[in-house]
Amino acid sequence: MTTSSPEAGPAPRRQSGARAVYEMLRERIISGALPPGERLTEPVLSAGLGVSRTPVREALLLLQAEGLVTELPTGGVRVAALDVSDARRVSAVRSRLEGLLAYEACERATPDDVARLHRLVDLMDAVRDHDDEVLRIGGQFHGEIERIAGNAWCSALLRQIGGHVDRYRVLAARRRIGTTDHVDEHRAIAYAVGQGDPVTAEATMRAHIERSAAMTEQALTARQTIPS
């Protein structure tokens, strides 16, 4: 497999250093612009991004620590694979953590919090044909649930798997385009939080994540059955 040039995006400012390179590469891995299995090397990346090899090396180490790239015995790294078994494990962890956040959000939500959740659902409904916007607003919705719950331990654990969650969320969102499923599921979560019903909020959140996991599995299976 040949190495893709990262020249398709704006080059990070030199003074931003490794963090800017890391964030750019991370976004491209999550979006699929850098596909699973793509080989990344310091010389090619530094030349394409117009930075020295030092920030590239540091960025690749950060991505490796996050599990988004894996080291090759011959040098360089490869974008981590996406597969059904990994997707199931990530979803199982996410479902439990976000289910707990939804439960605890019911105990802390104010009327203003609930109104914000419903506004986000309405925005999602308005842009349901655009996967990038659905993903962005969906992320905001889940972020609001996390903020309302105020559980620092859950938040820290979610951050550790955040890149992996987002990679699989992209696949699921693309299979929902044009449907109202995503909107309906978020609306049900917002309604349960507004009703102060923690049991239903947790169950609805977990069902939503499990539905997304099923969509992800379908997308991964379809990829594997495409003739080469």
- As a whole number of angstroms, the distance between CA 55 and CA 21 comes to 7
Q: How confident is the model at residue 211 (pLDDT cuts 50, 70, 90)?
A: very high
What are the residue ranges spanned by the domains of the chain? 14-79, 84-225
Q: Which of 86, 79, 90 is nearest to 29 (CA)?
A: 79
Class of domain 84-225: mainly alpha
pLDDT digits (tens, 9 = 90+) for 115-169: 999 999 999 999 888 878 888 999 999 999 999 999 999 999 999 999 999 999 8
- Do the first three CATH levels of 14-79 and 84-225 match, i.e. the same topology? no
Q: Is the pLDDT of residue 9 over 70?
A: no
Amino acid identity of residue 50, one-letter, is G
- As a whole number of angstroms, the distance between CA 33 and CA 107 comes to 40
More confident call, 182 vs 193: 193
Q: Across the beta sheet with 39-40, what order do the strands follow?
A: 39-40, 77-79, 69-71
Q: Is the pLDDT of residue 178 over 90?
A: no
Q: Which of 40, 26, 3, 53 is nearest to 167 (CA)?
A: 26
Average of per-residue pLDDT across 217-228:
71
* Two tokens, residue 161: 């798997």
Q: Whats the size of the chain, residue-wise?
A: 228
Q: Is the pLDDT of residue 89 over 90?
A: yes
Is the domain spanning 14-79 CATH 1.20.1250.20? The answer is no
- As a whole number of angstroms, the distance between CA 133 and CA 83 comes to 25
CA dihedral 83, 166, 137, 151 (to 10 degrees): 120
b/e sequence 186-202, b meaning 16+ C-beta within 10 Å: bbbbbbbbbeeebebbb
- As a whole number of angstroms, the distance between CA 172 and CA 170 comes to 6
